[in-house]
Amino acid sequence: MQKSILITGGTGFLGVHLARYFLQKKFVVTLLDIAPLTASDLLGKVTVIMCDVRDKKKLLEHFSNIEYVIHAAAALPIQRSKKVIFSTNIEGTKNVLQVSLSQKVKRVIFISTTAVYGVPKHLPEEEDDPLDPIGYYGKSKVEAEKLCRRYEKKGLSINIIRPKTFLGPERLGVFTLWFEAIYNNHPVIILGKGTNLYQLLAVEDLCELIFFALTKNISGQTFNAGAEQFKTWRKDLQALISYANSTSKIRSLPTKPSQLFLATLELLHLSPITAWHYKTMPIDSYVSNKKAQKKLGFTPRVSNQTILIESYKWYKDNRQSIIALKGTTHRTAWNFKILNILSRFL
């Protein structure tokens, strides 16, 4: 018999990639989200349920006959509202865990974030490091992880994944700013000199890690995930610029003044870039994959440069149909407002 899986946040960037991955693994896939499915290749191949994870009663209606759950639904930092972020990421997680336990789901995978570590205190970051999150998003994920551990003690089999920023075809969000600049031969703006090491993660690698954490005989664990091959922002972005045959030049902005400026724009809601972005971008930031390698046999295969190139290639090929789509998810272009205006004069 085919195994059944339900993915919350299923119509988002990670959700659609997971849907494709698990369809290839012959799973029966159900996607649960508040947004409609726009990935046309999945239409008719998956079941789509329009439901908010904050609606526990409605969740109960859709968890029968579900063997596995990937909880990826979340309100991103761009939402800004503490109420929205906490209610979705904490209360919504609690609902998913409660329903999964009551419906005897075999295994839940919770998608957390390396934002729970905050600004790195030492490198590489490891799973047992102290947590010091930045902003409502990181704090909400810390609280959601606590819920996961609580429900694991109640008998729910669950593993937690903390991925670095993950990219791949169809990823837009904050990367729209760079992709659009490169496409138009405009300056590519970075904070600081760009000589800091910064690790990304390919969405295809993340899907494989989730599969391993879901199906292997191990529970109650937390796993970091980031690319094994990564260089500095300057080197990785220059490789992308060269691939694109763009005349864009990398422009460094002074760190402290720029952070103050971006903090002001954030406060005035004039830019979707949050403290998590501008506080961590100019510093070294990478995690250890050793635990996932040891316990799950997982090693990321895609380098930072390949991740960026594949993501940009999709952006360029589909630019005309997506550039006007503005939203607050990773599958939409964010509205950078004043930053778009300023970049034209740099």
For the chain, the structural domain boundaries read: 4-166+200-225, 168-199+229-285+301-343
pLDDT of the residue at 321: 80
Backbone φ and ψ for 48, nearest 5 degrees, come out as: -115, 125
pLDDT of the residue at 339: 54
Ramachandran assignment for 135, one of left (phi > 0), alpha (psi -120 to 50 degrees), beta (any other): left
pLDDT of the residue at 157: 98
Contact 25, 214 (CB under 8 A): no
pLDDT of the residue at 267: 85
DSSP class of 293: H
pLDDT of the residue at 345: 45
Residues 6+ apart with CB under 8 A from 261: none
Contact 214, 22 (CB under 8 A): no
Backbone φ and ψ for 13, nearest 5 degrees, come out as: -60, -55
Whether cis (ω within 30° of 0) applies to the bond prior to 187 is no
Integer Cα distance of 14 and 119 in angstroms: 24
pLDDT of the residue at 282: 94
pLDDT of the residue at 326: 55
Integer Cα distance of 157 and 305 in angstroms: 36
pTM across the whole model: 0.93
Domain 4-166+200-225: top CATH class: alpha beta
pLDDT of the residue at 132: 96
- Taking the chain (346 residues) in runs of 10, the rounded mean pLDDT of each run is 94 97 98 95 97 96 95 87 95 98 98 95 96 94 98 98 95 84 93 96 98 97 98 98 98 93 84 83 96 98 97 92 62 54 50
Helical (H) or strand (E) element with 256: helix 255-267
What amino acid is encoded at 81 in this protein? S
What amino acid is encoded at 115 in this protein? A
Tell me which fold the domain 168-199+229-285+301-343 belongs to: UDP-galactose 4-epimerase; domain 1 (3.90.25)
